[in-house]
Every structure is written in C-alpha cells, then in structure tokens.
Structure 1
C-alpha cells in the first residue's frame, strides 16, 4: 500500500507538469503569433505625416510636446503626460511564491505629437506599452530603503508596506511618457471629444489619435519602426518555435504517462 501511494503521487506530479508544459507552450506559441501579426502590420503600414493622415488606423512618428498641462509621476517625480503604475507584494515561498497586486492605475493627459508638417493630439490611455522603456521598477525586501514618494503613495492609498521585522517584499513599477522625447504611435485617428464631432482636418486640432473600440491595435514605443521590428523579430520567433517545442515535450510526457 505504501509503495503504491508513492508511485501514484509521482505519477500525478508528472502528469501535472506535462499538462503545464503543454498548455504553457500553446500560450507561448499564440503570443508569438500575435507579435508576428503586429510586426507584419507595422512593417506594411506606411508612416504618415500629420498633415496628410486620414481617419482610421495610422502610424506616426514625431516629437512629444505638452498640450495644455502635464502631470507628475507619483513614484519617480518625473514631469510626464502619461503614467501607468502598479504596487504589488511578493507572498509565499518556493513554487507558491506569487505577486499579489494591491493597486494598478493609469492616468494621462492629452499631448501633441509633432512632426515637420504639423501636430496632432494623442491620448495614450489603453495603449500597448510593452516596448516603452521609460520606466522604473523598485523591489523592497526586509531592510530596503522606502523613499518618501513611495511611502506617501502607500499611506495615501492605505497600502501596508511594513511588517514586524521590517519592510514587506514590495514591488513598485511605473511607466511614463515625458515631453521632449520622440515617440512611435500606431493608433486610430478619430474626432477629438471636444471637436463637436467634426471630421475636418483643420490643423488637426479637432482630431485625436488613441484607442478606439473594436480596433485591437494601439501601440506606443520610444523606438523607431526599424528598432521595433529588429528587436521583436528574434523574440517572436523564439516564442513561436519555443512554444512548439514545449507543447511537443508536454504532449510526449502525457502520452508516456498513459503507456
């Protein structure tokens, strides 16, 4: 009876790991295909000039300038036009270690993207920022130093960061967009909410580029199109072929369990 139980437990662990590999590989493969689809769209869509862009999905590259106001990023204190942040706490140990998110927020103000032909309003809320590297990531463990800004933010939003023996294992992440930098944007050109729904291209003051319901592509990066495609090609290829390999290994292990 005793040896039987041990064999059963080992078998269960093996099949569980095999299923994990199989499903994880499929997810990795799917994400790689999605990245390839995005890269193909970026490569095939010509970069528009602000003056000549049409309504609908557009690709733009220009210089960020404040429109009416800016804001201050809570963690870094940087002047910005958009900020996305999260506060999490690492809990558990070993395989059970996981990140519990206490708070996730994004906030932005309209800003101008300017090229040599004109300027257009951008609303960055809801964008894919995976290739935007103007960010900070801070992890605190035990006796790590808590900055005044982080402490003020936690106290304001009732987030516990102290424990009986020191600081909790906290993680703070912040991504922001600063005025004065160059930016790549692929999003939907649409009437600005304050435009009276006008579709006239009068200096593009009445047009905004941003997220649109039903349009899955809204991508912002601080890299040029060439840099985006160069960096992404290796990653998406690795995800597709790596996903196939993991799924195949997981499937093989599942079949072995039932022999």
Structure 2
C-alpha cells in the first residue's frame, strides 16, 4: 500500500471518529431527540404517549442546596477537577463528581406535571447548563468559599510546599422557578393523599418506559419561544 493511500485512510479514520464523537455528544443527542417530540400542555397529555412539557421547576419537598452557589434546587450536577501534568502534556482529572436530585413539579402555566427521576435503575438522561464555575492555580488563589467547598470534600487547596493546586469546579443546577424541558411517557396517576399545595386527586406525570428514558434539560434552546428569557 502506497504512502498517499495510507495518509488518506488515516485522515478518513480521524474524520469519522471526530464526526461520531460530535454526533453522539450527550447535549446534541438530547437536542435532536427533544426536537422530534411534540410539545404538550399538561391538559393535553394522553396516557402512554411520548410527550414533552416546558415550564417552571418547583419542589415537592424541601429543596436541595447546590454545593458551591448555595442556591435552592431540585437537581444539581457538580465536578471538581485537578490538572495533572505528565512530562510534556497535561490533562484534567476528575477527582469528585456528584449528582443529586429529587422528585419535582413542572408548572406549565398553573397546571402541574410531576417528574420522578431515579438512580437504581437509572431512568433518565440529563443535560444541565454549567452556570457556576471556580478555579485556582499558581497565581490564582482560591476564594474562601472555594476553600470551604474543597475541604468539605477532603481536598487540600495547596501542595505540601504551600503552592496552590491547579483545580477547577463546575456546577449546573435546576433552580427553583427555572424554566426547563422534560420528556417522557405520559401517565395520569391517582393520588391517595394530595401533595402540599396540590389539592387534586389526579396528577399528570412523565415516566420512563422500556428503552425510553426521561429526558431532562434546562437548555434555553429547548424552550418554546414565548418562554425563553
């Protein structure tokens, strides 16, 4: 096989790998999938129909508190990474990754849909916009809040010799009152006991079923035009 052909094959292989990585990027998969699912109001949801709704996220119980920002939320994702050098190259190594959530309402103009993500088995896929970040490094001292967060996860902000470690933090949340989009299989459930501030005997829910998982995101581009802010 001649050298030009080998070069062409290598270039094609790299291009294909790059395309597949782009095409199957988690965010883009969610955007493509949600774009194909019909937008519904709560009252128009039909049992066993794949649907999506958009509205304000509201807590069912005492809300979660985001680790760094301290904001009240129903879902958060966070990670702490450390820059690791290896000879001439370096990369970011994730040393803490945490995701917490609870059941929550989606308020679609006064009508409620309840969403119940679960971990075992995992019944959802999710993409949250990173809206808080923090970092430290040789000439970038950690803020007191960042130091407190690091110590909470048993991470020392400095090396043995007193130099700042190169660290970074990212946080994405579904804040109380934030507009989000959720898709799943629609069901109507009877309530043996009404939820707090929800006096009705039935409530709509979106669920996972079979291979269809719940899809949860706060991507602004997934909101109907009238709800974007």
Write the mapping of 1:86-97 to structure 2, written as runs, cut at 5 A.
86-92=79-85, 96-97=89-90
Query: How far apart are the structure 2 equivalents of 1:44 and 1:103?
Result: 35
Q: How far is 1:167 from its partner?
A: 1.2
Relative distance call for 1:74 and 1:117 in structure 2 (3 A) is closer
In the superposition, the TM-score normalised over structure 1's length comes to 0.64
* Other-structure match for 1:63: 56
- What are structure 1's unaligned runs of at least 5 residues? 1-10, 196-200, 229-259
Q: How far is 1:124 from its partner?
A: 5.4
- Encode CA deviations 1:119-177: one digit per residue, 9 max, x unaligned: 01124564331xx4352122211142323333223223222321124210101111011
Query: How far apart are the structure 1 equivalents of 2:23 and 2:38?
Result: 22
Q: Which moved more, 1:62-71 or 1:146-155?
A: 146-155
In the superposition, the TM-score normalised over structure 2's length comes to 0.71
Q: How far is 1:99 from its partner?
A: 0.8
* Other-structure match for 1:42: 34
Query: How far apart are the structure 2 equivalents of 1:145 and 1:51?
Result: 52
Query: How far apart are the structure 2 equivalents of 1:217 and 1:23?
Result: 34
- Residue number among 114, 119, 129 corresponding to 1:133 in the alignment: 129
Equivalent residues of 2:125, 2:213 under 8 A apart: no
- Residue number among 18, 22, 25 corresponding to 1:28 in the alignment: 18
The structure where strand makes up a greater share of residues is: 2
Q: Describe the SS at the equivalent of 1:63.
A: strand
Relative distance call for 1:27 and 1:215 in structure 2 (3 A) is farther
Q: Which has the higher Rg, Structure 1 or Structure 2?
A: 1
Q: How many residues align?
A: 204
Query: How far apart are the structure 2 equivalents of 1:188 and 1:111?
Result: 16
Relative distance call for 1:111 and 1:148 in structure 2 (3 A) is farther
Write the mapping of 1:217-236 to structure 2, written as runs, cut at 5 A.
218-225=215-222
Q: How far is 1:100 from its partner?
A: 1.1
Query: How far apart are the structure 1 equivalents of 2:17 and 2:214?
Result: 20
* Other-structure match for 2:140: 144
Structure 1: 4+ residue segments shifted above 6 A = none
Q: Give RMSD over aligned pairs.
A: 3.6
Higher relative contact order (CA 8 A, sep 6+): 1
Q: How far is 1:117 from its partner?
A: 5.9
Query: How far apart are the structure 1 equivalents of 2:209 and 2:80?
Result: 28
Q: How far is 1:37 from its partner?
A: 6.6
Query: How far apart are the structure 1 equivalents of 2:150 and 2:207?
Result: 31
